[in-house]
Structure 1
Amino acid sequence: MWTRESIQQLIRDRLSDYLLVIVSNRQPYIHSFRKGQVVFQRGAGGVITALDPVMRACSGLWVAYGNGDADPLVTDRKGRVGVPPNNPSYTLKRVFLNKEDIDGYYYGYSNQAIWPLSHMAFQRPEFYKEHWDTYVEVNKKFAQAVLEEVENKKAFIFIQDYHLALLPKFLKESEKENLIVAHFWHIPWPSHETFRICPQKQEILDGLLYNDLLGFHIRHFCDNFLEAVDREMESRIDRERYAVIRGEQETLVRAFPI
């Protein structure tokens, strides 16, 4: 059974002097106004439920979209606030987005294009250039927020889900040394026959292949991803090791059932 002490020991053993950074769309704590007072609540969702205890045990940095109406009031000039608010043990850095950002990046490309494409749902994916352009720009904003805090530190950056497919590329292109980038894709990866209809398929694959480690729920999704890479990208695939090699960059592709 995992305890606070065992998690701390694992992080010390494996990451030692690395700064632990989690990046997600949803934030673990939200500040809002209620009857004229600022109150906070813990964010919802499986990512927060799983990773907030890790961060509370080991400290570090969590970068996420600040969607609470009182969020700007409680952060410093760089968008940072200690959390949990009643007993701070790590830093939350908020990325503030405007309505155009959210409409294009979240409601647009993430949820009208990637989500139905990945789930092979009855809803037909909708690909709009303006949504894609906003998705790119918001991923750049997240990269800037992370890099501002990492500076020249060693950092293990753990990215969450399909909202941030381009973030690994923007982080690695900064040419900062000592960055280890991992990414967990929380939704299915479709077959190549489905994925190939995406107009930005190569850009998405390119972004994800800047990860050092890319995780999916099951091996079948790993196989689908490798098939897409094999069909669409110039690379060398080591199927025994489930690795993709492009130049000096190697991406390990792994299944992590949770």
Structure 2
Amino acid sequence: MWTKESLKKAIEEQLGDYLLIVVSNREPYIHTHKKGKVTWQRSAGGVVTALDPVMKACSGLWIAHGSGDADKMTVDKNDRVQVPPDDPKYTLRRVWLTKEEEDGYYYGFANEALWPLSHISYTRPTFEEMDWKMYEKVNRKFADVILKEIGDRKAFVWIQDYHMALLPKFLKDAKGNNIITAHFLHIQWPNPEVFRICHKRKEILE
């Protein structure tokens, strides 16, 4: 059975001197205003449930969209906050998105194009050029934040889900062999026959 100590040792043995970074759209901890006070809670969902213990064990860096209405009040000058707030174990680096970026990248291309495409659903995917531009812009924004956080260090970047399909290429193009990326999808990926209808399939697969 895994313990905090054995998990930390296993991670250190596998990664060596590489910094462990997890990247996701949803942040593991969110700060909100409630009854005139700033409160926090751990986000729900499988990604956070599975990876939060890992990050606690290795004191890693988690990069995610800061979506809470009190998130900006709780970060330092570098947009970082130590989490969990009641017993800090690792760093959360928040990325800020404009409403236009969130609408195009998340609600648009990710959820109206890639989601139905991946599930081969009866809902026809919607491909809007502006949504694609916002999706690409936000992926580049995340890449810029990650590269700034890494600096001259080596890093293992664990990318979560279909929201970040362009991120691995952006990072590899910038850092080459000094960065290892792993992209874990929490949904199935469409077969070639279905994926061919995506007009940006080449850019995504690169």
TM-score, length-normalised on structure 1?
0.78
Deviations 1:162-204 (A, max 9, x none): 0000001111111354211111011111111111000001011
Instruction: Could you list the structure 1 runs, at least 4 aligned residues long, displaced by more than 6 angstroms after superposition.
Output: none
Query: How is 1:96-245 mapped onto 2 (pairs within 5 angstroms)?
Result: 96-175=96-175, 177-206=177-206
Instruction: Provide the residue aligned with 1:78 in structure 2.
Output: 78
Higher relative contact order (CA 8 A, sep 6+): 2
Calculate percent identity across the aligned residue pairs.
Answer: 58
The structural deviation recorded for 1:53 is: 0.5
Partners of 1:120 and 1:69 lie apart in 2 by: 35
Partners of 1:176 and 1:66 lie apart in 2 by: 28
Where 2:22 maps in the other structure, the secondary structure is: strand
Would the aligned equivalents of 1:152 and 1:176 in 2 still touch at CA under 8 Å?
Answer: no
Mean Cα deviation higher: 177-186 or 68-77: 177-186
Would the aligned equivalents of 1:155 and 1:180 in 2 still touch at CA under 8 Å?
Answer: yes
Mean Cα deviation higher: 186-195 or 100-109: 186-195
Instruction: Provide the residue aligned with 1:256 in structure 2.
Output: none
Partners of 1:97 and 1:160 lie apart in 2 by: 18
Letter matched to residue 21 of structure 2:
V
Letter matched to residue 60 of structure 1:
G
Instruction: Provide the residue aligned with 1:16 in structure 2.
Output: 16
Instruction: Provide the residue aligned with 1:241 in structure 2.
Output: none
Where 2:25 maps in the other structure, the secondary structure is: coil
Deviations 1:31-88 (A, max 9, x none): 0111111110001110000000100111110000000000000101221000000111
Letter matched to residue 6 of structure 1:
S
Letter matched to residue 106 of structure 2:
Y
Structure with greater helix share of residues: 2
Partners of 2:128 and 2:159 lie apart in 1 by: 25
Letter matched to residue 138 of structure 1:
V
Would the aligned equivalents of 1:64 and 1:95 in 2 still touch at CA under 8 Å?
Answer: yes
Aligned length: 206
Partners of 1:30 and 1:68 lie apart in 2 by: 5
* Gap regions ≥5 residues in structure 2: none
Q: Which structure has the greater CA radius of gyration?
A: 1
Partners of 2:85 and 2:67 lie apart in 1 by: 16
User: CA-atom RMSD, angstroms?
Assistant: 0.9
Instruction: Provide the residue aligned with 1:229 in structure 2.
Output: none
Check if 1:67 corresponds to 2:67. yes
Letter matched to residue 133 of structure 2:
D
Partners of 1:102 and 1:194 lie apart in 2 by: 26
Letter matched to residue 140 of structure 1:
R
Partners of 2:77 and 2:117 lie apart in 1 by: 38
Partners of 1:74 and 1:184 lie apart in 2 by: 29
